Amino acid sequence: MYAKCSAVADAQNLFDKLSVRDSFSWNSLIVGYAHDGQVEAVLYCFEQMENEGFYANEVTYICILKSCSSIKAVNKGEQIFVKMIMKQGLQGDETVIGTVLMNVYAKGGAFAKAQQLLEKLPRRDIVSWNSLMAGFVHEGQGAEAIMCFDKICNEGLSPNSITFTCALKACGNIGDLYKGIMIHNAILKEGLLASDAILGSSLVDMYIKCGAFSRARRVLVDTPIMNIVMWNSLMTSYIEHRQEVDALNCLQWMRLKGITPDKITYICILMACGNLRALEIGKEIHYEVVESCLIDKDVALGNALVDMYVRCGALDRAHHVLEELPTRDVVSWSSLIAGYAQQGKGQDAVYCFLQMQKEGLSPNAVTFTSLLKACGYIGAADLGEQIHDEIVRLHLLKDSNSLGNALIDMYSKCGAFSKAIEVLDQLPKQDVVAWNALISGYIQEGKNREALDCFGQMECKSVSPDDITYTCILKACGSLGIIDEGEQIHHEISRKGRLKQNLVLANALVDMYVNCGKLKKARQLLETLPARNVVSWSTLIAGYAQEGQGHEALQCFVHMQDEDILPNSITISNVIGACSHAGLIDEGKLCYLSMHTTCGIVPVFEHHSCIIDLLVRSGNLNEALAMIESMPSEVHPIVWSAILTACQSRGDVTVGKWAFEHTTEINDDVTPYISMSNLYAALGLCRKAEEVEFMRQTRVKIH
């Protein structure tokens, strides 16, 4: 009785007090231990029972064999089976006993023996096949499990829920969607879904593993499955495959079915909102989470809220949420520090780090990585070095190559290249990310020759460049105007087939040719690209503008619009600049006047400056002045200087004096004084010229 009620400890105590023990008492105790899952106790009792000369009955043997299967004790199971059949001559149901032994073989991975035994059984029922299928699935042999399923059907046996569940797991494991759909249809034909939630969940899981998310959702929606775990699994899969909108739709379906979201649901949805930058939806979920009181019990949910606001760029809200959390951990702070670092708010990131330390929380590798990024942004080399010392003290560099790369990046951005090289030399593995950090740091500081030297060292150490490496090196080649090295990189990129895969890299190549003055090659390359974007065309247009080839720039401008590529603000500035240098006044004015209506771009200071420069260069000073008067913002000193220079060449002292006054009001540069003095001198107004020269020396404004 105690054994049957799972009170095996009480049963053992009672058993120990028995003055006379018989087969019945031993069998009862062993069965009790077996039902309680205490395998070692089962085998020990069986051994003791035999030592005392008692025999197990068929039920006991079956329990012992099941215990052997649970620990994959194939040899032990065989020994017990031999004792049961050969020594004691038990005449039970051979199919049942054989099935149990086959289960031992299958779970122990002895599939050849399991199949041989199955062939010898006098009657192969669905239970026998299920044992073999379950073993194959458990060992990850999905194809073999499917073969078993096909044999079951060929032998005329009717699969049951366990058979279908095993088959669906097998299909999911090997990604066999076609077979999974066939099994789904068979399940529908048998009418099993309505009454078996486990089978329904297995079906959903199979579709998820096969990437058929819409089918998985349909099963969840169309069946009475109320398993929130399956909904959460589907949402997680949607997010992993960047289908966040579908994840959000899952939440609506859950609500329609009356399923209450749990913390995992909310974490998934917050992640989707963060990835989509869906701040307003995120706020609604935040309200729900607070109302549900779940945030009071789970720090992971609080961290998901902080992370959502960080990803949406709402750092003030993220900081506020973090401060309101009942409990905070290193993940909470690291997420916020990373957000500040990514937005270039290094001081705020450092402040959070100090607050985190005040709370007694120890930073991890993720925290340090974000903090080093912040130090790089604000040029805090001293603080970065302190963090470096702490990382070394904690022995984190041995386990995290990303930390070493972050250190190199920080030192490079701070201009401390000797330190960056020192870290690089000490890394256990110098990967391409580490070299890229150093190369990009050199380029950022204008040390293009050093960047090229780094590239050479990297290749000598058999580190293969990636697209980021090539992009950086092409920029260095363009800045130095070294076309030979640039062309070598071009050939290497083409040989590796990278131009077809990466438009950013292709644009960098176009930019290199433009900066080296090879506009014809840049144009030829651009026209052969499988895809082009606004950056591709704008780069070439800028090159033509710099060379004064206005007609070619306008031609490119037309071509890009023919390809349905909308110009951006930079494109417009380059086109107007090209027209200005080429004397294409009407074309430049048309581009400026139509930019808002045609391209949807509102003119800003750069565009105003370009059109004024065009008007000044063409001698339309009055029109330029009228445009200046109508400009919504303060005119930049460069614009006034351009007008003053134009007045000097045309001898217009009235407009020149006006331009000089405005220039000197907002700029301390000596150039306007020289230009005005030269203007007066050219007109024979020597005293006025001397007055301006005196003002230059004393910086007194003209009246």
Cβ–Cβ contacts within 10 Å for residue 111, how many?
Answer: 17
Average pLDDT of the chain to the nearest whole number: 82
- What average pLDDT score do residues 527-540 get? 91
* Digit-coded pLDDT (tens) for 329-356: 999 999 999 999 888 888 899 899 999 9
Residue 566: pLDDT over 80: yes
The one-letter code for the residue type at 600 is G
Burial classification of residue 165, based on how many CB atoms lie within 10 Å of its CB (0-12 exposed, 13-18 middle, 19 or more buried):
buried
Instruction: Return the CATH fold of 1-123.
Output: 1.25.40
What's residue 478's pLDDT?
Answer: 93
Q: Which is more confident, 670 or 64?
A: 670
119-171 pLDDT per residue, tens: 666 566 787 778 778 878 877 888 888 888 888 888 888 888 888 999 999 99
| Segment among 123-137, 199-213, 356-370 with least mean pLDDT | 123-137
User: How far apart, in whole angstroms, are the C-alpha atoms of residue 662 and residue 203?
Assistant: 76
Which residue in 583, 580, 562, 582 sits closest to 572, CA to CA? 580
**Confidence band (pLDDT; 50, 70, 90) for 610?**
confident
Residue (of 179, 129, 133) closest to 155 by Cα position: 129
- Convert the pLDDT of each residue in 480-524 to its tens digit: 999 999 999 999 998 988 887 789 999 999 999 999 999 999 999
The answer on pLDDT for 641 being more than 80 is no
DSSP secondary-structure letter at 85?
I
Residue 652 has pLDDT above 50, yes or no: yes
What does the pLDDT read at residue 112? Answer: 61
pLDDT score for 432: 93
Inform me whether the pLDDT recorded for 694 exceeds 90: no
What does the domain layout of the chain look like in residue ranges?
1-123
Signed CA dihedral, 349, 352, 358, 360: sign only: negative
For residue 600 the two structure tokens come to 């949807």
Tokens of 420: 């960056």
**What predicted TM-score, i.e. pTM, was given to this entire model?**
0.67
Lowest mean pLDDT, pick from 119-128, 237-246, 279-288: 119-128
Tell me which of 8-12, 321-325, 458-462 is least confident: 8-12
Nearest-5° Cα angle at 596, 591 to 602: 110
The model's pLDDT over 536-559, given as tens digits with 9 standing for 90+, comes to 999 999 999 888 898 999 999 889
